[in-house]
Each structure stands twice: as structure tokens, then as C-alpha cells.
Amino acid sequence: MIDKNSRAILSVQGLRASINGTEILKGIDLTVKSGEIHAIMGLNGSGKSTFAKVLAGHSAYEITGGSVQFEGNNLLELPPEERARSGLFLAFQYPIEIPGVANTQFLRLAYNTVQTKRGKEELDPLEFDDFVREKMKLLEMNPDFLDRSVNEGFSGGEKKRNEILQMALLEPTLSILDETDSGLDIDALKTVASGVNQIANKNNAMILVTHYQRLLDYIVPDFVHVMQAGRIVMTGGKELALELETRGYDWVNANKSVTGVIA
């Protein structure tokens, strides 16, 4: 929800980033305040996944310009684990499989690491088990997934649920969901969306990176941004997603120079 009294969680100004010498992000400006849900849409190759990874601190990208403030701190100075510990979360488009590590072990490790940073008590395996099972209900996940290796042999939908489960456990201030809707059938999409909606509150914020409008039927954004060639070329309300769905991205090309920002 938009609330004019809310505080800025993320403030991105003129962010530029490249990989192997090729510039992908060419000056991004974005402000995200608490309680808000932002959608970033765009075609493949527009740079939206790169933006998500750069915010999370992926070391393959070189920051070549601009600044990012997160909760009042210079985000770009922090290593990825510090970003996570201070409340930034990236739900991966392609979650990594880790054979040999039980999911519950991994989830507890991540949870306790973040809890410690927040000055809270760690949970022992038994306490954590109760806690995580509650959270799994939110996503209608089978508890059997706790004992399996992290994401190993999970279907696409199960992997995405496992991402949202981590988000539910870590209670981030800012969640970036990178193409969380890809590979989900409609039932899984509804479950995942319902989980996300239950996590969203007035103190946190979300950025949904998505190609299609479909996800936005279930998670209603306050702002929709269109990304193209490494820049945000258009910003609007939730109706912009519908506009894109009917008119296609070509329409953006025809209108961006005229309208610029239609907010």
C-alpha cells in the first residue's frame, strides 16, 4: 500500500553495472518505501534479473556508477551475506540444488544466521522444526521436503515454494522475487501468491521481477515499472501491467519518449 508517511527502504540512483565489460544496467532510478509492492516488467534481456542480482550482491557484476541506499546504509559496500542479514532477500529465478545438505539443516542455518544479526535467540533443531512446519502450512508444502536435500529433485513449483518459505522464515525488509511465477501452474501460482500476500505488511516492501502480468492478478502492485535496455523507461500504477498485456512492449517504445513517466 502507498502511504505518504512511510519511510524509504531502498533508494537507487543512476545505478550502472556491467558484466565482462558489457554494460547491462545503464542508469536506474528507483525508490521503494515501506508497505509498497513494486513490479518490474520487461522483455528478456532488458536487465531486470541483473538488477535483482546486483541488489543482492552477485560478484559477477561490476558496479560502474550510481548509488544504492538500503535502510540508510550504502548497500553497494556490503558483501552479499551482510545484505541478507540486514534484511534484503532475493528469491531466485533458478534456485540452486545442494545434494548432501538436508533442507531443514540449510533453512535453520540461514534462519539462525539472520536471527543472530538481529540480536535474537537461535532455535535448536526441535524448536526450529515446530517453527518451520507452521510456515510450511502457509505455502501448503509437504513436510517431507524438510528431510530432502536442498531443492534436489524438487519440481519447478516446489523450488519456488521453497524460496518463499525462506522468505517467510527470514522476514526480510525488502524481498526481490525474480521471475517467481515462471514455471508455475495456476494452482501453484495462487499458493505462492497467497504466501507472499501474507508476508507483505506495512513495514516491509517487495519488488516483483516478472515477464508477464499473470502474477500481478494475485499480488497487486502499487507501482509497475517497465525496464528496457538497462533503464526504467516507464512507471505507472497497477493498470500499466494490464495495458502492457493488451498492447505489448512495442507500445512502450512508441510512448516512452512522449509520456516519459506516467505515474
Partner 1 sequence: MNDLANTDYLECLLKSWPIKPTESLSWLNQLRTQAIDRVGTQKLPTRRDEEWRFTDISPLSRLPYQPSQPECNLQAHNIEHLTLKEAKHRLVFVDGHYSPNLSTIIDPAALVIGNLPAFVATHASVLESHLGQYVQFDNNLFAALNTAFLRDGALIIVPKNITIAEPIHLLFIATQNEVTSYPRCLLIGEAGSNVTLIEDYVALQQATYITNSVTEISLAANAHAKHIRIQRESTQAFHLANCAVSLAHASNYQSTSISLGSQISRYNLNVRLTDEAAECVIDGLTLISERQLADTHTCINHAKPNGTSRQQHKCIVDDAAHAVFNGKIIVRPHAQQTNSSQSSRNLLLSKTAQVDTKPQLEIFADDVKCAHGATVGQLDQEEIFYLESRGLSAKAARNLLTYAFGAEIISRIPVTSLRQQLEQAVLSQTQSN
Using CB under 8 A as the binding rule, whether residue 78 contacts partner 1 is answered as no
98 is an interface residue for partner 1 by CB under 8 A: yes
Site size toward partner 1 (CB under 8 A) is 29
Q: In whole angstroms, what is the distance from residue 205 CA to residue 176 CA?
A: 9
Rounded to a whole number of angstroms, the minimum distance from the CB of residue 238 to partner 1 is 28
58 counts as binding partner 1 under rule CB under 8 A: yes
Q: Which of 20, 22, 44, 59 binds partner 1 (CB under 8 A)?
A: 59
Which residue, chain included where needed, has cell 508444502? 141
Q: Does 160 bind partner 1 (CB under 8 A)?
A: no
CA angle 219, 224, 230 (to 5 degrees): 125
Closest CA to 51 of 207, 254, 165, 250: 207
The C-alpha atoms of residue 37 and residue 21 are separated, in whole angstroms, by 32
Q: Is 95 in the site for partner 1 (CB under 8 A)?
A: yes
Choosing from 45, 79, 153, 260, the residue that interacts with partner 1 (CB under 8 A) is 79
By beta-carbon proximity to partner 1, the closer residue of 144 and 250 is 144
Residues 206 and 1 sit within 8 Å (Cβ to Cβ)? no
- Shortest Cβ 75–partner 1 spacing (Å): 13
CB atoms under 10 Å from CB of 153, counted, come to 10
Give the integer Cα–Cα distance in Å for 20 and 2.
38
Q: Which residues sit at the interface with partner 1, rule CB under 8 A?
A: 56-60, 79-81, 83-85, 89-90, 92, 95-96, 98-101, 106, 109-110, 113-114, 117, 149, 166, 170
